[in-house]
Each structure stands twice: as structure tokens, then as C-alpha cells.
Chain A
Amino acid sequence: MASSNTNDGLMLSLETVSKSFTMHLRGGIELPVFQNVSFDIHKGECAVLSGPSGIGKSSILKMIYGNYRVETGEVRLRTDDDWIDLAAADPRTVIAIRQQTLGYISQFLRVIPRVGARQIVAEAAIAQGRDTDEAMADAEAMLDRLNLPRKLWELPPATFSGGEQQRVNIARGFIAHYPVLLLDEPTASLDAANASVVGDLVEEKKAAGVAMLGIFHDPDMRKRVGDRLIDVSQFAVTSTDDQAA
């Protein structure tokens, strides 16, 4: 279905994706996570993954981004005029796609020793070819908007609070121009004011035609930015028979 060339705004399409983990340190037991994951994401929408915690919502985002391998099925992503199956793409292709096409914002920042917050944010835009001065100015505007105190901008975020680190991560994800954006609880540890800024940012991306897939536990945020729900329970592989019923 995703292979049609019609310009229907389809950006991301998962087709019968399955995933399991083999735990060799636990005697090689296999933990099936889900099967037959199939859904489409279009330009200018924000679809929300729903379901109880532990069902594998984050795992779906990680499979799309390539942190997790995909056993079977396809993760098809539109780049310019081409479709690429991320599940089968070589590392080089995935790296290029992460730089230009596919963004991922999680609640956890992977800090880089000695690199200041502003630089970390700007790097995402510089990697896309934005002029360094312009990227720095954009990074400042973004950090300002997310109310990160100016005195922190030059400091490496390793010592920041969870909420501060998260805002650096959000700024980094939103400063770049990715046509497809994955959001893993971007507002998890933010206060209401900052969460509302994230809501604005999501709406701006939507207006700009970005296709988004997110996880939002906060029901208000989900209601505000979510266009539709994708219930992950339908894909879950239940481990025992009584749960399957």
C-alpha cells in the first residue's frame, strides 16, 4: 500500500512489523513483544501511540528510529521522492536519514562531556547544513522559549536537572527541520508552562506539514496535539493464554 506513488501525504508506513528479544543471559528465552504492527502516518498530523505502560510504545519508536532491530516487516519512510525501508537499510543510510529526515525526541538527553547546552542544540541544525551563526541564534531563541536560564547555556548539561536536560533535548529536536518526528513523552517532567510551549512547538510543526508520531501520558497534552490514537495493545503478543482471551 505504501508503495503507491500517489502524492497523498503519506510519510511513514509500518507494515506487519514484528519484534522479539532473545535474552541470552536468561538461558536464551525469547520475549515476543509484538507482531503485525501496521499503521500509516501522514503529513501534518500527530498520531499518538496509546496503551498501558509496558506494552511497548517506546519500543515502536525505537524500531522506527533504528535503535531496535526489526525482525520482520517493513518500516517505510519517505525521503524527498523516494521510499526507504528502514528495517533493511544499511547503517550509512540510517545515519543520513537521522540527520535530514527523521527526528527523535525523548525525555532523556545523552549528554556529551564538555559540550555546552547551546552548542548541543545548534549542532542538530548545523548537521542539516544551517550556517553556524544562524544555528547558534536559533538555538538561543529556542532555549529562551523553553525558559532555560541564560546562565546555563554555555554549561554542559550533565549537571542539569532532569527537566532542564529534557528542555535541551526538546530544543535540539525542534530546531532542526525533520519531515518526520518521533516524540517519546517530551513533556514527561516539565511544568505546565513549559509543557504548553512544547504543545505550541508541536502545533507549529504540524502547520509546517511535519508528520509526527508520539507518546504522551498527559491526557491534556494528548487531547491538545493528538489527531488520532493508535492502540498498541492490538499488536501486543501476550505471553500467557489467559491474557490472550
Chain B
Amino acid sequence: MSDDGPLLSVTDLSKYYGQHAGCLDVSFDLYPGEVLAIVGESGSGKTTLLNCISTQLEPTSGTVEYSMRDGRMANLFTMGEAERRFLMRTDWGFVHQHPADGLRMGVSAGANVGERLMAVGERHYGNIRSQASDWLERVEIAVGRIDDKPTQFSGGMRQRLQIARNLVTSPRLVFMDEPTGGLDVSVQARLLDLVRGLVADLGLSIIVVTHDLAVARLLSHRMMVMKSGRVIETGLTDQVLDDPREPYTQLLVSSILQV
């Protein structure tokens, strides 16, 4: 948390689907080591926003700038396709809600992790295999399962494998779309614990989309609340949750089930 500049800077981002606005006039900065949660009900535009920022969708207007490893801020939508793809494969990770969207289901766990390494130029089979097994261990998948395919894994294991695949290239920014959606609570706790540890150890920046305010509270430093495509409230996570200001945020917070 020094005076360094932002890692990512989003300005006036809008995405229209025909007449309908998916997200509207969104601006924010993300700093190194920060975890930002984007919350809101389904249809609020949070996934559209995430997909625009991560260049999976082209926004209708607005800019997204990213601090490259050499320190310059580059506009993601004006840089060349090759440079953008390289960025996505090396400096970024994307953890999908459904592991099948982020994994290659037909190849082994080891190959899923190794593939990202090959994309950044690693060619030595032994190195790839040893790094893959290191990461499997780190996400608590028994190394003995390295040659098994994800189809043979449980939902929680697949999600952890997806995280290993994304983190093996030491990205600086990871996007997560409902990473704990559809997992049992005990499996969810394990995943949250893993992500928390990775943030602390690796200084990762994360943008996580979730409708689960408890997940947001546990993982994030800052929070943006979205409704009808707009960011209606933003601030420190515990401030937004303890002292929600907007009617919609108050409704969301008051709807949380307490255990």
C-alpha cells in the first residue's frame, strides 16, 4: 500500500446490448495487492463489467488501462491482439464460476496446469511437471492425481485446479466470477482459505464478482455495489456492510442469513 500508481484503471466504461445497458459509466482504480468485490443481484451488470474489464467483451465506450510490467499504462482496447493475448495468458488469471469453462476437461490435471507454462515459453518437460505438481500440492490436490482428468474430480477439486492453472504463471491480477458458487459450504471455506492465503503470500490483486456478501466480507478490502448496470455504492467492505447508505444496499445487507 505505497504511493505507487494503480494496477488497473477503469474510466467511464459502458456496455450496451442494443438499447439495453449492461453496465453504465463505471470508473474505478485497482491497486496492487487489493481485493475488490463487485456485488449485486443477478442481472445487475457485474458479470458484464468483469467481462469488459478482462477484455472478453468489448465495451461500447470507456477505457481500461493496465500497468504493464515495464511500468507504462497501456489501454487494453487499443493494444495489439497479440499483446493482449499474451497479457491474459501470463499476467492475468480468470477463474470462472464453472470450472469446465476455465479448464480443458479432456486432458490431465498436470497438463491443465502445464499448458499455461508452455504458453509463456516453458519447454522443459521435467520443469513443467515439477511446477505443476508444486501447484497441485499448494491447492491441496494429491500429487498422485496429476495424470487424472478433471472429469474425475469433484466440483471443489476442479475449482482448485482452475486456480492452480491460473496462478502457475504468477499473474498480478486475477478475475474471479462467483468462484464459490455451487460449492458446499465446507468446500467453499477451503477455497476461501486458499485464496486468502494466496493474496497474503503473493500480493495478488483480485476482482471478484459475487452475490454472496459473506464471501465478499471475507475476501475483499473494497466493495462496489451494482444495480441496473450502475455502481450505486462503493467503499471499504466493512463500511458498506456495516453502514450501507443506498436503499438497495440496505436491502441486500438486511437480507443476509445469519448463522
Q: Which residues of A contact B (CB under 8 A)?
A: 21-25, 28, 62, 66-69, 91-92, 94-96, 99, 112-115
Contact = CB atoms under 8 A, between A and B. Distances in A.
B254 interface: yes
Given A91-B222, A112-B218, A25 B236 contact: no
A92 B247 contact: no
A62 B242 CA distance: 9
Nearest to A93: B1
Which has the most chain B C-beta neighbours within 10 Å: A21, A66, A69, A113? A113
Interface of B: 1, 31, 34, 189-190, 192-193, 196, 218, 221-222, 235-236, 238-239, 242-243, 245-247, 250-251, 254
A202 to B, nearest CB: 25
A92 B192 CA distance: 22
A68 B242 contact: yes
Nearest to B238: A67
Given A95-B1, A95-B221, A114 B238 contact: no
A23 B250 contact: yes
Contacts of B239: 66-69, 91
Given A112-B193, A114-B193, A25 B222 contact: no
Nearest to A68: B243
- The 8 A-B residue pairs whose C-beta atoms are closest, nearest first, are A113-B189, A24-B247, A96-B1, A67-B242, A114-B193, A68-B243, A91-B236, A91-B222
B112 to A, nearest CB: 25
Contact of B236 (A24, A66, A112): A66
Contacts of B254: 25
Which has the most chain A C-beta neighbours within 10 Å: B1, B192, B236? B236
A69 B245 contact: yes
Contacts of B245: 22, 69
A67 to B, nearest CB: 4
Contacts of B238: 66-67
Nearest to B218: A112
Contact of A114 (B190, B235, B242, B251): B190
B138 to A, nearest CB: 15
Contacts of B193: 112-115
Contact of A69 (B196, B218, B243, B246): B243
B189 A95 contact: no
A117 to B, nearest CB: 15
A99 B236 CA distance: 14
B250 to A, nearest CB: 5
Nearest to B241: A67
A136 to B, nearest CB: 15
B242 A94 contact: no
27 contacts: A21-B243, A22-B245, A25-B250, A25-B254, A62-B242, A62-B243, A67-B238, A67-B239, A67-B243, A68-B242, A68-B243, A69-B243, A69-B245, A91-B235, A91-B236, A92-B1, A92-B31, A92-B221, A94-B236, A95-B221, A99-B1, A112-B218, A113-B189, A113-B190, A113-B193, A113-B218, A114-B189
